[in-house]
């Protein structure tokens, strides 16, 4: 009898642990639209009104909030729900700023959050007010359900992610790290890929390449354009740029990329699978890399430190041989790259004393080891992907940079997650940073539930 009573008590508890999703959907959509309607375009990135909105929503329910600002109109918000302290905290993160818009390109005004045909249209719908709203809902629901936690859950709403990290994650890590220190972090940097309306697989960012910038400067005597010179700086620079562009840096792999290609093979055509499985075979690797370089350039980049010449500057009039010409290279280093070694190698490749290699400052990210894929965090995410979407999870090394790099460099295991989006939507101009931006309402709601389950799975008392 006693045991039976305990059983009922436990199952009642289990029921109470699940939010009333029908009601939550309405509320989540209301917060989502309200946040989307606040213009936080960066630059200038006036995030204060969005932070004020979050602050009120959290404080209304008794969740304590702190804000930290390097610049008063660009604050970061931190809210914390206490756990028993048995485990180290979980950090959930979303950024409040969005990229700029060209209003002429939008069918619905870019900060209107118009609902149409099952979509919500606004800047920030998939980058990153989806994550931001999911984090807010997780905090509100954890508090309401009074769920016992083994670890603190910390919500960080950061400013300046889109190009001004000095006011956002960099500022927080360098000045207020104890406020956000955690064992694990869930943030943007992943998602689910739909193709033909079907969810195909999940991507979870576990590591990323590190951006650097380098300038090639060629010098030579100036002269009259009517008397061509072999030492022409533009000609020397062009040769150097062509050599660097053709240079294939050595192929490298890590746990993330090995698992990525292996798992990608399981959902590919036999022909594709042969390439994804064959990339680890030294006898086939060269040919497969060549195929990637032409047909799947992102995969080619994932296998190495990549170099792309993206700016060139030289000359000022048609009849003058300029004495200087320069090109700027976008280098995306493999996480374990030794930059001094790479540049020494580049010098040999260029093999021209008239061309100098100069390192240039840029908004870079600190190097860090990849987050583990054989731990409770990754496995929890994987099982929640299975539960909500029924598909396989690919760990991904992102070719672009995210704010997670700052946290990984401090030892936090970070995982990039996001909602399901249609692969066809990007080319149509509806993706992150596109002319327009939108999300399927149903996928926004599914993401909130998936994110909730992942956070609860990691934080709730065992
Ligand atoms: Zn973003």
- pLDDT tens across 356-402, in order? 999 999 877 888 999 999 999 999 999 999 999 999 999 999 998 89
Ligand 1 mean position, distance from CA 169 (Å): 12
131 pLDDT band, cuts 50/70/90, is very high
Q: What is the pLDDT of residue 16?
A: 54
C-alpha to C-alpha distance for 167 and 174, rounded to whole angstroms:
11
Residues having C-beta closer than 5 Å to ion ligand 1: 127-128, 188
Q: What is the pLDDT of residue 1?
A: 42
C-alpha to C-alpha distance for 172 and 409, rounded to whole angstroms:
13
- pLDDT tens across 164-205, in order? 999 999 999 999 999 999 999 999 999 999 999 999 999 999
Ligand 1 mean position, distance from CA 224 (Å): 50
Beta bridge partners of 93: 156
Residues 128-142, mean pLDDT to the nearest whole number? 98
SS3 260: helix
Ligand 1 mean position, distance from CA 131 (Å): 9
Ligand 1 mean position, distance from CA 162 (Å): 7
Ligand 1 mean position, distance from CA 188 (Å): 6
Q: Is the pLDDT of residue 6 over 90?
A: no
C-alpha to C-alpha distance for 204 and 220, rounded to whole angstroms:
49
Ligand 1 mean position, distance from CA 266 (Å): 29
Ligand 1 mean position, distance from CA 132 (Å): 10
Residues 101-130, mean pLDDT to the nearest whole number? 97
Residues 394-420, mean pLDDT to the nearest whole number? 96
The tokens describing 433, both together, are 């940073």
Q: What is the pLDDT of residue 362?
A: 86
Q: What is the pLDDT of residue 295?
A: 97
Ligand 1 mean position, distance from CA 44 (Å): 16
SS3 343: helix
Residue whose C-alpha is closest to residue 125's, from 458, 450, 395, 445 = 445
Q: What percent of the chain has pLDDT over 90?
A: 92
Please tell me which residue, 2 or 155, carries the higher pLDDT value.
Answer: 155
C-alpha to C-alpha distance for 279 and 209, rounded to whole angstroms:
19
C-alpha to C-alpha distance for 109 and 104, rounded to whole angstroms:
9
Ligand 1 mean position, distance from CA 130 (Å): 10
- pLDDT tens across 427-460, in order? 899 988 899 999 999 999 999 999 999 999 999 9
Ligand 1 mean position, distance from CA 281 (Å): 36
pTM, two decimals, is 0.91
SS3 150: coil
286-292, long-range: CB < 8 A, 24+ apart: 289/248, 289/251
| Cβ atoms of residues 383 and 461 within 8 Å | no
263 pLDDT band, cuts 50/70/90, is very high
The tokens describing 394, both together, are 């690919």
Query: Are β-strands 420-422 and 190-195 bridged in parallel, bridged antiparallel, or unpaired?
Result: parallel
The number of angstroms, rounded, from the C-alpha of 93 to the middle of its chain's C-alpha atoms is: 12
Q: What is the pLDDT of residue 2?
A: 47
Residues 342-347, mean pLDDT to the nearest whole number? 98
Ligand 1 mean position, distance from CA 341 (Å): 32
Residues 237-256, mean pLDDT to the nearest whole number? 97
Q: What percent of the chain has pLDDT over 70?
A: 97
What DSSP character marks residue 44? T
How much is the mean pLDDT over the chain?
95
Q: Is the pLDDT of residue 12 over 50?
A: no
Q: Is the pLDDT of residue 7 over 80?
A: no
Q: What is the pLDDT of residue 365?
A: 86
Q: What is the pLDDT of residue 363?
A: 77
| Torsion angle of C-alpha atoms 313, 318, 322, 324, degrees rounded to 10 | 10
Ligand 1 mean position, distance from CA 370 (Å): 20
123 φ, ψ (degrees, to nearest 5)? -65, 130
């Amino acid at each position: 009898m006693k045991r039976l009573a305990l059983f009922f008590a436990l199952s009642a508890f289990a029921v109470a642990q699940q939010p009333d999703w029908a009601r939550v959907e309405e509320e989540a959509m209301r917060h989502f639209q309200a946040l989307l309607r606040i213009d936080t375009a960066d630059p200038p990135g006036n995030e204060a009104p969005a932070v004020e909105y979050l602050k009120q929503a959290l404080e209304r329910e008794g969740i304590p909030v702190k804000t930290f600002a390097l610049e008063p109109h660009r604050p970061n918000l931190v809210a914390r729900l206490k756990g028993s302290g048995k485990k180290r905290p979980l950090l959930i993160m979303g950024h409040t700023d969005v990229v700029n818009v060209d209003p002429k390109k939008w069918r619905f005004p870019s900060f209107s959050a118009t609902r149409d045909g099952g979509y919500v249209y606004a800047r920030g719908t998939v980058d990153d007010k989806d994550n931001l709203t999911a984090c807010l809902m997780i905090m509100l629901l954890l508090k309401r359900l009074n769920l016992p936690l083994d670890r603190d859950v910390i919500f960080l709403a950061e400013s300046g992610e889109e190009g001004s990290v000095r006011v956002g994650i960099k500022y927080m890590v360098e000045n207020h790290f104890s406020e956000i220190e955690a064992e694990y972090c869930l943030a943007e940097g992943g998602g689910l890929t739909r193709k033909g309306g079907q969810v195909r697989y999940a991507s979870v960012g576990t590591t990323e390449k590190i951006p650097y910038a380098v300038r090639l400067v060629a010098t030579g005597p100036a002269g009259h354009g009517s008397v061509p010179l072999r030492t022409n700086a533009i000609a020397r620079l062009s040769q150097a740029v062509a050599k660097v562009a053709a240079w294939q840096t050595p192929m490298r792999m890590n746990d993330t990329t090995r698992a990525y290609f292996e798992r990608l093979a399981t959902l590919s055509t036999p022909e594709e699978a042969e390439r994804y499985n064959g990339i680890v075979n030294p006898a086939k690797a060269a040919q497969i890399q060549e195929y990637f370089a032409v047909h799947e350039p992102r995969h080619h980049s994932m296998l190495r430190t990549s170099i792309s010449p993206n700016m060139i500057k030289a000359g000022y009039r048609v009849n003058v041989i300029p004495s200087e010409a320069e090109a700027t290279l976008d280098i995306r280093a493999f996480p374990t790259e030794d930059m001094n070694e790479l540049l020494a190698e580049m010098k040999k490749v260029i093999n021209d004393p008239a061309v100098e290699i100069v390192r240039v400052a840029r908004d870079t990210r600190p190097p860090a080891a990849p987050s583990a894929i054989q731990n409770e965090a990754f496995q929890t995410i994987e099982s929640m992907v299975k539960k909500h979407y029924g598909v396989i999870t690919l760990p991904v090394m992102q070719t672009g940079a995210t704010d997670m790099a700052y946290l990984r460099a401090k030892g936090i295991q970070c995982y990039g997650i996001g909602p399901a989006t249609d692969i066809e939507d990007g080319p149509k101009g509806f993706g992150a940073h596109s002319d327009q931006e939108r999300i399927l309402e149903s996928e926004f709601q599914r993401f909130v539930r998936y994110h909730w389950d992942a956070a609860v799975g990691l934080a709730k008392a065992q």
